[in-house]
Every structure is written in structure tokens, then in C-alpha cells.
Amino acid sequence: MALNTDFVGRTYPPSGPYAVTAADIAAFAAAVGATDPVHTDLETARKAGYADVVAPPTFLVRFEQDSTRAYVADPEAGVDYARVVHGEQSFTHHRPVVAGDQVTATTTVEQIRQAGGHAMVTVRTELADAAGAPVCTARSTIVVRGGE
Amino acid sequence: MSALSFDSVAVGDVVGPEIVPVTRATLVAYAAASGDQNPIHQDEAFARSVGLPDVIAHGMWTMGASSSVVARWAGDAGRVVAFGTRFTKPVVVPVEGAQIEVSATVKALDPDTRRATLDVTTSAGPDKVLGRCQAVVHLA
């Protein structure tokens, strides 16, 4: 099963909507040591100008990874998941994510390049709110290790 | 906490270092919170069976914990507007637990947008575990 390089530029149908809840934000914040009370205390969040408690900077990974699964699990894409390592990750926020948001995620295969016998695939996921306004652009590069 | 003022920050300012402990329980909690239940992050026997030295932390946990350090400096976590990294080495988490050390340096300030760009360094023992890790913070 070889990696299909024809997939560059392919966009998968949106996944979600995913509900952002205060409980999920609190659990994620606790797990990554995010101690800012804007994650857990509604009053603090409102005083700081937010409509509700705020998600930590990497919180959207759950929705992003669920969305990128459409590509990774696509049999025609030829990604051997047993050989996949997470190489790079970034989040560019267009606005803060708060509890109550309903987020959809749309993944596009942005780049496939070969390096040192490995293939590096960058997927871009655009996360948007219920009104369709941009929330975050997430990029993930997976390394598909070569060899037998 | 309140948001850090742009006028109080200078290029070269250093954040941390902060020591962040990580245990198997941390990884179980992160797995539940993130949805990443890959057993290499929880099950020692499975991790060894695929050639790893022991359980390793989720790269995304290490990234998330590093972003928490930057967010504390920012004084308002909602002001961390971008965060990106390469994953260069795993954080090995033996049964007795491990720790990472996170620091950052202000590399650039843009008065028009009141944004600071920081280079973040995260290590486990002698190893840098994140590469080209950079944060952008919208200061007050």
C-alpha cells in the first residue's frame, strides 16, 4: 500500500458540529496543567471579556484529529497508520474558543513531500463556528515512515 | 490574573523555566480529555512491544503543557493566538513519573498588533523534546 501523492489539494466534507462544553474544557485544562481560571471560572472569564469559559490553546486537537481521520482512514489515500508518527502541529486562532461554541472542521491535504525515505503529509483543518465564521486554522504534519 | 501589558514586555524577556511533572495518571487524564487513546501512552507492555523504551507522553500533551506555561505568562490564556511545534523526541514516562522543563524567550514585538512572538524550549532531562516551538501572544 503506497502513499497516494495525488491527494494533495483534496478537501474532505466537514465533520461535526462538535459541542465545546465547560466540562470538556475543564478536563483538558487539568490534564495539561492550564491553571488560568478563565478555563474554569465563568465569572473570571466574563470579567476578561469572554462570553463563557475559554478553551486552552491546543484544546481543538480533539476535533481536528477526528476530522483528519477521514483522510488517514481513506483506503485510497494509502496511509499505513502503523507507520505514522506525529511530526508537527500548529494552531492559529482567529478568535478564542469558548464553552457553547459549535465547531465544524474541514480538512484539506495541503502538502505531501518525501524526505529521507519517509513521507511527510501536512493536513490543514479549518475550524469554524455555527455561523460559519473562522475560529482556528490547525495544521498537522504526519510522518509516514518508509522501509519494509 | 489579568492580561500582560504590551508596554511591560521587552525583546529578550525570559519566561520560566517551569518544571511540569508528568505521571501515567496525567497521560490517562490527557487521553480521556483529548480522545487520543493510543496504548503507547498508557500501556507499558504495549509500548515495549512496538520498540519504545517505555510509555511515552502524547506529543500533544507536551505541546499543551508548554502552552500552559506561556498562557500563565500572558495572564489570560485566551490571548495565546498561535502555538506551533515540531515533535523531536518523546518524553519517556516510567512508572515513577517524569518531568519536563519549559522556558520561553520573547523574540519579537509588533506594536501595531500588540503581539509578542516567543521561542519556547521544552526539555526532558538532557533532551529537547520540541523543535521550533513558537507562540504568539496578543498582549493587552
Domain boundaries, chain A: 8-19+56-144
Contacts of B128 (CB under 8 A, 6+ apart): B88, B89, B121, B122
Q: List the grid coordinates of B20.
A: 511540569
Vertex B48: Cα angle to B47 and B54 (nearest 5)? 70
Nearest to A36 among B36, B72, B85 (CB): B72
Q: Which of A21, A58, A80 to mutate to test the interface with B (most CBs of B within 10 A)?
A: A58
Q: Which residues on B lie below 8 Å from A56 (Cβ)?
A: 64, 67-68, 71, 77
**pLDDT score recorded for residue A147:** 63
| Cis preceding linkage at B21, omega within 30 | no
Report the distance separating Cα A79 and Cα A104, nearest Å. 24
Beta-strand ranges (E) seen in chain A are 15-19, 84-93, 102-115, 118-128, 134-144
DSSP string, A59-102: TTHHHHHHHHHHHHT-GGG---GGGEEEEEEEEEESS--BTT-E
A62 and B34 within 8 Å at the Cβ level: the answer is yes
List of chain A residues with pLDDT < 70: 1, 147-148
Report the distance separating Cα B52 and Cα A30, nearest Å. 27
**pLDDT score recorded for residue A81:** 84
Residue B59 identity: G
In whole angstroms, how far apart are CA B115 and each of A34, A90, B9, B107? 21, 17, 10, 11
In whole angstroms, how far apart are CA B33 and each of A25, A43, A47, A99, B64? 8, 23, 26, 15, 12
Nearest to A89 among B35, B60, B78 (CB): B60
Per residue of chain B (140 residues), give pLDDT as tens: 689 999 999 999 999 999 999 999 999 999 999 999 999 999 999 999 999 999 999 999 999 999 999 999 999 999 999 999 999 999 999 999 999 999 999 999 999 999 999 999 999 999 999 999 999 999 99
Pairing of strands B130-138, B80-87: antiparallel
Residue B111: Cβ within 10 Å count: 8
Q: In Å, how far is B50's CA from the nearest CA of chain A?
A: 10
Q: In Å, how far is B12's CA from the nearest CA of chain A?
A: 23
pTM of the prediction?
0.97
Tell the CATH topology of A8-19+56-144: Thiol Ester Dehydrase; Chain A (3.10.129)
DSSP string, B44-74: HHHHHHTT-SS-B--HHHHHHHHHHHHHHHH
Delineate the domains of chain B, giving CATH numbers in brackets.
6-138 (3.10.129.10)
Q: List the grid coordinates of B55.
A: 510509555
B33: left (phi over 0), alpha (psi -120 to 50) or beta: alpha
